[in-house]
Structure 1
Amino acid sequence: MSKILVVDDEQMIRLAFTEFLKDEGHTALLAEDGESALELIRVHRPEIIFLDYRLSTRDGLALLPEIRHLLPTAAVIFMTAFGTMEVTIRAMQLGAYEYLTKPFDLARVREIIHQILAGRKSLAALGDDPPLPALSLDRMVGRSPAMQEIYKMIGLLTTQDVTVLVTGESGVGKELVARAIHDNSSRRLEPFVAVNCGAVPENLLEPEMFGYEQGAFTGATARKMGKFEAAGRGTLFLDEIGELQPSLQVKLLRVLQEKSFERVGGNTQVSVQARIIAATNKDLHAEMLAGRFRQDLFYRLYLVHITIPALRERREDIPLLVDHFISRCNREQNRTVCGVAAPAMRAFQEYSWPGNVRELENRIRRAMVLSRDDILIPELFELSGRAEPSGRISSSPLAAAARELFRALRQADDKPSLLMEHVVGIVEKTIIAEALRACNGNQVHAAQLLGIHRSTLRKKISDYGL
């Protein structure tokens, strides 16, 4: 049985496909517009997609590149009642497997499906695994010793069905590691579902994760499946797990222990079959010691963990990453950029990269937009805040102020073991207060200024009594 997605804004077409695919022994997934289609692709990863040209919100030609990027292994059959040469050529250029002009014979549909599935069986018979939906465009890059250790750990974890915790600073590629584990495991043909625990408002996160029953709260007009159910037998990736509120920490712990949960407003146990991979940019051990993260949940998650190094800790990978991102942008933008100038590469090696790999990618993308040349020069990147040479102490005013604060607290603090927490707390509280003052109390604008999510800012405002 294969999962086949039909994207068409005509209800009769969708109904006809549903009956036909059911009779053929396949699972039919239906979408009437592009956004619904992309969501179904992210969750269910169908093997075959029938895509109509004329959709209500955006046409199929505009949607096809996104589908190919999101799920390169899917065979996309383009359908249209407007069979012009231009549309046909463009659809095939964009990677369509086949092209059908409406009205078409269902026998031809059966033939195409059989052809696609038979080809994949032949590959399997030769001993090759089915093509992975993995990192063809978003693969992990790096040959440093630190990255080699991560690759080894991923290889071990793909054969062991255990909960994993991935830690590291923002932008290091925690979700890429989670996807690599999923895409190389026996669950690779099942959904990979991601939830950012810090991006969903606190009052919406529980129904988002666990779903809800009809009438569970105002506006709950029908039962809705949560992310745990949507993940099925695949993988549920819980990003920014350190932002999880205490009440949800309790519920997550129960899920990990009992492999089941109840929807919001329900009393029926729902079985959990997905693998859980969690990630955070926080020091969960410190959060646990401070009483902000449950000890029992911490040890449940920390059994197997991977720590991804910051980019400044694996500078030897920077040239490889630069080449990778330039190659990707060349494909996407139809460019022929050769690389970066030597002075730019030297600047990359000296820069501290607070935003890590994500910042490097964004700076490469920006430079390629601004430049029409085939070599990217240093002026395009506007790098500042270079790394301090090893063994030297910064003489900047900010560093001087930090040293004065340290000395004052060291003399006054009667709990030296909490000195670091005390220093960070004072600095963080002051910065948040100044950001709120600069934004006239507007929390949305203050969160944007600080580069954190609004829910994170609200929590810190509450913690510091601001």
Structure 2
Amino acid sequence: MYKVLIIDDEISVCKLLSAYLEKKGFDTEATISGKQGLQRIRKQHFDVVLCDYRLGDFDGSTIYPEIKKISPDVVVIFITGYVNLQVAIDLVKKGVYQYLEKPLRPDELLDTINLALSSKAKGRDYPDNDQPVSREPDLIMGEDETSKELMKSLSLVGPTDYSVVIEGETGTGKESIAKLLHQNSKRSKGPFIPIDCGSLSREIGASELFGHEKGAFTGAISDKTGAFELAEGGTIFLDEIANLSPDIQVMLLRAIQERKVRKLGSVRLKEIDVRIIVATNENLIDKVKEGLFREDLYYRINEFNLKVPPLRQRPGDLALLVSQFMEKTGSELDKSFSGIDEEVNCLFKNYNWPGNIRELKNTLRRACLLTEDGGSISSAALPAALQIFDQDILSDSKPPIGLQGEEQLPTLDLKAQAHLAEAKHIRKVLFDVGFNKTKAAELLNIDRKTLYQKLKRFEEKA
């Protein structure tokens, strides 16, 4: 049985973590000060130390070397509610296994501890390249052929330093794929720095990516280290890269070509050693053809391409995903469930899942919260969008309104039939776009006002 020492100045956190980890088979001890924690480590062996970064008598940078001096082989994982990216990167470079943000996600904590212990038991700091790909908590691949092909590609490109373009719809787990690539590479001990390009305006984009010096522009009151420098020795992940402005694309291309970056306001170039992984939910080739994305940049970053299938193309994985998400949520809520009702099973198989894995996960988290301990997930615990979809499935399986027998025709006249068909089509489009009414109106070739009027009329006649 692995022994875990928890050091946190909040007694409630110590109790919660102890109870959760003991339930998962760990032997735990807890203390509320760094001094007491160091005394425990001197007296007995621990496999893992979970330590709050800000204690009353120590902080992470001062207690970590003391822990390693006493027990060089112990795995140290810091937890904190005050995330400082530069501090996190410095600690990881010094040997801290991981740095987790409060509030903790139990499944993420458990997976982090298990992965650390697995690597330690095999005498290595990162997974062997010839071993199966280690799994990201939010990325579950099963027996579906599309999943198997993706995992084969991950196993192939993960150990390399290739730049990778990950393509997939929103919610398919592109960032989890990027983390997997990082975890299964020789850079796994280095930092993984994710950047949401969709949130980078033209004004701050260059500063976020490459940094700036004090006085470089109005408001630059101090030096700033950019994401590329922060990712030194590790991986930088550029999510939604298609959103980068043209001038930032030029700067990014130059940085990739020269493997050097220049801070805003500086004349000095700094060499960088990073792996670049990007993701997009748009077709970059189409963006190139439209003149919205540089062709030379595309071919620089696209040394290997991974296409993440949407959930609707992974029917063989649905049951596994449902089971895994229910188990994880049950652990968080300290509940157990007998499964899902047959009606819900039918609904899940027929639903289009426009939000993909993220939508399924959120749906099950909500349903588990609303379901009693030991119960089965019913349609009543599902979000309104799925309940409406469920009603549509049931109505499709019934005979038309007014049809009393094989010889009798429906009583609905042509106008009523047209109204019914229109309502059904609009509902289907809404489901397909995740109830985004602006997008639905665009696909239906009507304005939003007209769509709202039609929806209101459908409700009145329902």
Q: TM-score, normalised by structure 2?
A: 0.65
Which position in structure 2 is the counterpart of 1:458?
none
Which position in structure 2 is the counterpart of 1:418?
none
Which position in structure 2 is the counterpart of 1:420?
none
Aligned residue identity for 1:206:
A
CA contact (8 A) 1:216 1:264 kept: yes
Which position in structure 1 is the counterpart of 2:222?
222
Change (3 A) 1:266 1:67: farther
Which position in structure 2 is the counterpart of 1:415?
none
Deviations 1:300-329 (A, max 9, x none): 223311111111111221111100100110
Q: What SS does the corresponding residue of 1:166 show, helix, strand or coil?
A: strand
CA contact (8 A) 1:171 1:359 kept: yes
Change (3 A) 1:305 1:126: closer
Q: What SS does the corresponding residue of 1:254 show, helix, strand or coil?
A: helix
How far apart are the structure 2 equivalents of 1:256 and 1:357? 32
Change (3 A) 1:398 1:185: same
Q: What SS does the corresponding residue of 2:225 show, helix, strand or coil?
A: coil
Change (3 A) 1:294 1:430: farther
Which position in structure 1 is the counterpart of 2:360?
360
Q: What SS does the corresponding residue of 1:222 show, helix, strand or coil?
A: coil
CA contact (8 A) 1:5 1:48 kept: no
Q: What SS does the corresponding residue of 2:354 show, helix, strand or coil?
A: coil
CA contact (8 A) 2:240 2:278 kept: yes
How far apart are the structure 1 equivalents of 2:232 and 2:79? 23
Aligned identity (percent) is: 30
Matches within 5 A, 1:285-364: 285-364=285-364
Which position in structure 1 is the counterpart of 2:159?
159
Which position in structure 1 is the counterpart of 2:53?
7
CA contact (8 A) 2:127 2:134 kept: no
Q: What SS does the corresponding residue of 1:35 show, helix, strand or coil?
A: coil
- Whether 1:377 aligns to 2:378 is yes
CA contact (8 A) 1:42 1:70 kept: no
Q: What SS does the corresponding residue of 1:287 show, helix, strand or coil?
A: helix
Following superposition, the deviation at residue 256 of structure 1 comes to 1.6
Which position in structure 1 is the counterpart of 2:177?
177
Change (3 A) 1:320 1:265: same
CA contact (8 A) 1:368 1:376 kept: yes
Following superposition, the deviation at residue 137 of structure 1 comes to 3.0
Change (3 A) 1:150 1:72: closer
- Provide the alpha-carbon RMSD of the alignment: 4.7
Deviations 1:262-298 (A, max 9, x none): 0111121122211000000011111111111111112
Aligned residue identity for 2:379:
P
Following superposition, the deviation at residue 255 of structure 1 comes to 1.5
Matches within 5 A, 1:182-331: 182-331=182-331
CA contact (8 A) 1:240 1:278 kept: yes
How far apart are the structure 2 equivalents of 1:20 and 1:277? 36
- Whether 1:124 aligns to 2:123 is yes
Deviations 1:200-223 (A, max 9, x none): 333222211111111112232221
Aligned residues: 358
How far apart are the structure 2 equivalents of 1:132 and 1:7? 33
CA contact (8 A) 2:368 2:377 kept: yes
Deviations 1:15-57 (A, max 9, x none): 8548868999x9xx9x996313688447854754899xxxxxx
Which position in structure 1 is the counterpart of 2:81?
34
Which position in structure 2 is the counterpart of 1:427?
442
How far apart are the structure 2 equivalents of 1:32 and 1:352? 38
CA contact (8 A) 1:146 1:309 kept: yes
CA contact (8 A) 1:43 1:231 kept: no
CA contact (8 A) 2:182 2:235 kept: yes
Aligned residue identity for 1:375:
S
CA contact (8 A) 2:89 2:230 kept: no
Deviations 1:242-266 (A, max 9, x none): 1111111111111221111101111
How far apart are the structure 1 equivalents of 2:226 and 2:152? 33
Deviations 1:432-462 (A, max 9, x none): x849xx9xxxxxxxxxxxxxxxxxxxxxxxx
How far apart are the structure 2 equivalents of 1:64 and 1:240? 26
Deviations 1:324-349 (A, max 9, x none): 10011011111101321111011001
Change (3 A) 1:32 1:369: closer
CA contact (8 A) 1:6 1:14 kept: yes
How far apart are the structure 2 equivalents of 1:318 and 1:225? 42
Aligned residue identity for 1:208:
E
Aligned residue identity for 1:35:
Y
Matches within 5 A, 1:369-448: 369-373=369-373, 374-381=375-382, 382=384, 383=386, 384=388, 395-396=421-422, 427=442, 434=448
Matches within 5 A, 1:65-76: 65=104, 69=108, 73=112
Q: What SS does the corresponding residue of 1:36 show, helix, strand or coil?
A: coil
Deviations 1:383-424 (A, max 9, x none): 1458999xxxx9545859x99xxxxxxxxxxxxxxxxxxxx9
How far apart are the structure 1 equivalents of 2:359 and 2:126? 40
Which position in structure 1 is the counterpart of 2:406?
none
How far apart are the structure 2 equivalents of 1:248 and 1:50? 31
Aligned residue identity for 2:317:
D
Aligned residue identity for 1:323:
S
How far apart are the structure 1 equivalents of 2:79 and 2:135? 28
Aligned residue identity for 2:381:
L
Aligned residue identity for 1:34:
G
Following superposition, the deviation at residue 140 of structure 1 comes to 2.6
CA contact (8 A) 1:5 1:49 kept: no
How far apart are the structure 1 equivalents of 2:127 and 2:313? 36
**Range with bigger deviation, 39-48 or 199-208:** 39-48
How far apart are the structure 2 equivalents of 1:377 and 1:316? 22
Matches within 5 A, 1:7-156: 7-8=53-54, 17=63, 34-36=81-83, 40-41=87-88, 45=92, 47-48=95-96, 63=102, 65=104, 69=108, 73=112, 123-124=122-123, 135=135, 137-156=137-156
Following superposition, the deviation at residue 182 of structure 1 comes to 0.9
How far apart are the structure 2 equivalents of 1:366 and 1:429? 31
In structure 1, stretches of 5+ residues that fail to align are 52-59, 76-115, 404-423, 439-466
Following superposition, the deviation at residue 179 of structure 1 comes to 1.0
